[in-house]
C-alpha cells in the first residue's frame, strides 16, 4: 500500500447473526447512537475506506459459557481476513482455574495475541484478588491484556484499580483503553509512569478538547499511545482525522498509527 501504515488497535466484531443486536446493546449501555454494525465485513469495508492496514479485533464474554465460542470466532475471523485482523481472545472471571488454564493454552494455539477484558460488562473489579493469579497466567504465556478503562457511572474499571494490578503483577503488559479512563480521564493520570502500562486513544478524542488530549498523551508519553477507533462505536476514518487534527507532526503520528503497536505488541523493533 502507498499510504503510511495504520493499525487500528481497538475494534469489536461479532458473528453476523448477532452483530446488529450486539452493536445496539453497546449503544444502549453507553447511550450513544450506533450507526454501524459490528460485523467483520463492515469493519473491512471501513478499513479500506480509511486506509487501515491491520485491525485488532476482540469481543467480550458476559458468561463463562460464551468464552470458547467467542475465541473460536475471533480465530476463524482473523484467519479468514487474509492478514487484516489481529485477534485477541477473552476470558471470564467465573471460570475455574483449570478452565482458565485450558482456555489460555487454546488461545495461544489459536494464534491469538492477547486477552480483552471489559470489567464493566463482565461485572468484576479489575483488581479483584481472584484475578491476580489469572493475570500471572496470562503474563506467563507472553500475552498482554487490553482492559476497558473507566466509567464515571461505576467503579469496576477505575484507573486506580489498574495501577494496583500493574504494581502487583509487574510482568503483565496492560493496554489501558480510552486514554486510561473513559469519562474519568482526570483520574487516569494516576497511571502515568507505570512501565508495564500502555494506552490506546479509542473513545476519547470525540469527548476531549485538543488541549486536553495533547496533555494526556504527553503525560503518558507519545511512545506509549496506540491508535484505536473502538469500531463500531466510531467510524475509523473519522477517528484517524481526529488524531491528525492534533497536529502532532509526521513522526509522532506514525508512532501512534503503527510504530508503537508494532514495538509493544507485535514485538517488532
Order of strands across the sheet that contains 54-58: 7-12, 54-58, 85-87
Q: What is the pTM of this model?
A: 0.94
Let me know: does 231 contact 38? Beta carbons within 8 Å.
yes
Domain extent listing, the chain = 7-264
Task: Say if CB 171 and CB 144 are below 8 A apart.
Answer: no
CA dist., res. 266 & res. 257, Å (int): 14
- The pLDDT value recorded for residue 32 is 74
Instruction: Measure the N-to-C terminal CA separation of the chain; round to a whole number of Å.
Output: 21
Whole-angstrom CA distances from 200 to 83, 146, 257 are 21, 9, 10
Quote the pLDDT of residue 34: 67
Per DSSP, the three-state class of 129 is helix
**Residue the block writes with cell 493469579:** 133
Judged by DSSP in three states, 176 sits in: strand
pLDDT score for 37: 76
Digit-by-digit pLDDT tens for the chain (269 residues) are 446 899 999 999 998 877 677 677 776 666 777 677 789 999 999 999 999 999 999 999 999 999 999 999 999 999 999 999 999 999 999 999 999 999 999 999 999 999 999 999 999 999 999 999 999 999 999 999 999 999 999 999 999 999 999 999 999 999 999 999 999 999 999 999 999 999 999 999 999 999 999 999 999 999 999 999 999 989 999 999 999 999 999 999 999 999 999 999 999 85
CA dist 94 and 130 (Å) reads 10
For the 7-264 domain, the top CATH level (class) is alpha beta
**Distance (Å, rounded) from C-alpha 70 to C-alpha 68?**
6
Beta strand spans in 76-193 (E): 85-87, 89-90, 115-117, 145-147, 174-176
Residue 175: phi and psi, rounded to 5, are: -100, 110
Listed in sequence order, the residues at least 6 apart from 24 whose beta carbon sits closer than 8 Å to its beta carbon are: 34
Q: Is 248 helix (H, G, I), strand (E, B) or coil?
A: coil
Neighbours of 101 (CB within 10 A): 15
Looking at the chain, the number of H-run helices and the number of E-run strands are: 11, 9
DSSP readout, 26-72? HHHHHT----S---HHHHHHHHHHHT--EEEEE---SSGGGHHHHHH
Q: Cα(47)–Cα(178) distance, rounded to whole angstroms?
A: 20
Amino acid at each position: 500500500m502507498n499510504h503510511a501504515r495504520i493499525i487500528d488497535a481497538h475494534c469489536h466484531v461479532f458473528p453476523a447473526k448477532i452483530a446488529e443486536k450486539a452493536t445496539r446493546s453497546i449503544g444502549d449501555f453507553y447511550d450513544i447512537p450506533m450507526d454501524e454494525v459490528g460485523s467483520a465485513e463492515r469493519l473491512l469495508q471501513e478499513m479500506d475506506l480509511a486506509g487501515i492496514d491491520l485491525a485488532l479485533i476482540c469481543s467480550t464474554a458476559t458468561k463463562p459459557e460464551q468464552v470458547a465460542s467467542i475465541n473460536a470466532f475471533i480465530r476463524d475471523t482473523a484467519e479468514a481476513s487474509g492478514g487484516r485482523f489481529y485477534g485477541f481472545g477473552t476470558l471470564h472471571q467465573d471460570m475455574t482455574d483449570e478452565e482458565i488454564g485450558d482456555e489460555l493454552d487454546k488461545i495461544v494455539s489459536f494464534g491469538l495475541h492477547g486477552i480483552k477484558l471489559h470489567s464493566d460488562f463482565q461485572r468484576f473489579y479489575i483488581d479483584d484478588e481472584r484475578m491476580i493469579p489469572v493475570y500471572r497466567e496470562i503474563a506467563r504465556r507472553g500475552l498482554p491484556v487490553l482492559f476497558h478503562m473507566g466509567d464515571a457511572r461505576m467503579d469496576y474499571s477505575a484507573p486506580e484499580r489498574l495501577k494496583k494490578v500493574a504494581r502487583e503483577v509487574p510482568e503483565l503488559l496492560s493496554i489501558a483503553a480510552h486514554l486510561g479512563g473513559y469519562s474519568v480521564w482526570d483520574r487516569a493520570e494516576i497511571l502515568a509512569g507505570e512501565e508495564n502500562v500502555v494506552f490506546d486513544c479509542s473513545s476519547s478524542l470525540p469527548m476531549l478538547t485538543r488541549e486536553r488530549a495533547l496533555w494526556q498523551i504527553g503525560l503518558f508519553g507519545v511512545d506509549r499511545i496506540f491508535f484505536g477507533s473502538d469500531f463500531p462505536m466510531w467510524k475509523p476514518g473519522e477517528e484517524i482525522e481526529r488524531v491528525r487534527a492534533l497536529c502532532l507532526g509526521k513522526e509522532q503520528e506514525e508512532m501512534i498509527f503503527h510504530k508503537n503497536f508494532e514495538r509493544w505488541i507485535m514485538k517488532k523493533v
